[in-house]
Amino acid sequence: MERYTWSSLLLLFFQLQSSSSLVYNTHTLEAPRDLNITDPGYLGLLLVKWSAPYGALMGPACRVRFYLTYFNTYLNRWSVIRTPSTSHRIQVDLSKEVKVRVHSLLNGPCTNYTEVKSTRYAEVVRSPGRGSAVVQRLGCVFHRMEYTECTWEQANHTSLHRLYYWYVDSRATQECPKYIFHDGVRRGCRFTRGQLPVSSLVSICVNSSSPTRASEPAYLYLKIHNHVKPAATEELSLKVVSDVEPRLQLEWTQPVGRVPGHCLQWEVEHSSDRSNGSQPREKGTVTTETSLRMRLPYGKERVCSRVRSKLADCCAKHGIWSDWSHWECY
């Protein structure tokens, strides 16, 4: 009988382990099966489901996981999800092509603790309808953090528009609570404070029906706290103050509404009216204060200033500038 030394036995053991780990490489690890997309009617929140590949190891030591990629409409980039589950919800823009891919992943003793991703993948491509869009320039503004108006333009006046919206905490898709009319035609929807969540993603769809043409819905996905438009500032004053030398100080008050004062940044614009009739306008100054000091005008020079505000980056990713205040002159 052949005798084995300890070193030869160890070598044989590692060779067996190495050969077994090669069983599940990128060529033998199969792609997931039965990939499909279900639309539950939530205006772009889709359910993606699939099955594990045939013969996949499902033991705790070497469990198959999955690598899902899809184009995230809200983030405007491809998103990657690693999950042990065989389903996942994705948010997409239904007016655009939806492409989803799922690979199989394996890691553990069966792969010598090296992650293996299947070369093949399951893919589903969902194309939008072929009708033309009647609604254009669909957008929403959260005025003064008190009410929201979503408005649109249209290519013709023969269509009837209906706005529907959905967010995670709502039980079902709902229709616009109060339409905005222009010349007898629906051109927008008004939401009072509390009818839409401030920080959660809201899905909005405007359907158009016309007796003469097929049309596709328009979709919008947004968080309304990124679409706040403050009210215009109403009170400004210019006065001379003396410190080291006399200066002109512009002061203004917070705009009306529910926008927190610490969230606002201001742009101040100046214009001077000189004796020769010219009115040069200086580039706006951005500040988080509600006052600004400047030089005194020369001779018969007349200095005028105005301000506007929007949410600063510390409170929102985006902001909408308010309308300009009136000009205040000295």
Sheet with 302-311: list strands edge to edge. 281-287, 264-273, 302-311, 328-329
Q: What pLDDT, on a 0 to 100 scale, did the predictor assign at position 294?
A: 80
How does pLDDT run across 208-249, given as a tens digit for each residue?
876 666 678 888 989 999 999 999 999 988 888 877 778 888
- Mean pLDDT (the chain, rounded): 83
Question: Is residue 292 packed enough to be buried (19+ CB in 10 Å), middle (13-18) or exposed (0-12)?
Answer: middle
Which residues are 80's β-sheet partners?
A: 69
| CB-based contact 80:69 (threshold 8 Å) | yes
pLDDT at residue 257 is higher than 90: yes
The Cα–Cα gap between 141 and 230 comes to 10
Q: What pLDDT, on a 0 to 100 scale, did the predictor assign at position 322?
A: 96
pLDDT, greater one: 3 or 33: 33
Q: What pLDDT, on a 0 to 100 scale, did the predictor assign at position 212?
A: 62
The token duo for 176 is 């616009």
Count CA atoms closer than 13 A to 112's CA, side-chain side: 12
| CA 225 and chain centroid, separation | 11
DSSP sequence for 128-167:
PPSSEE-EEEEEEEEETTTEEEEEEEES-SS-EEEEEEEE
pLDDT tier, 9 (very low <50, low <70, confident <90, very high otherwise): very low
How does pLDDT run across 153-169, given as a tens digit for each residue?
886 666 788 999 999 88
Count CA atoms closer than 13 A to 83's CA, side-chain side: 17
pLDDT, greater one: 131 or 208: 208
pLDDT at residue 315 is higher than 50: yes
Question: Is residue 207 packed enough to be buried (19+ CB in 10 Å), middle (13-18) or exposed (0-12)?
Answer: middle
The Cα–Cα gap between 43 and 218 comes to 10
pLDDT at residue 256 is higher than 80: yes
Percentage of the chain lying above the pLDDT 70 cut: 81
The Cα–Cα gap between 266 and 100 comes to 43
| CB-based contact 238:246 (threshold 8 Å) | no
Q: What pLDDT, on a 0 to 100 scale, did the predictor assign at position 21?
A: 37
pLDDT tier, 255 (very low <50, low <70, confident <90, very high otherwise): very high
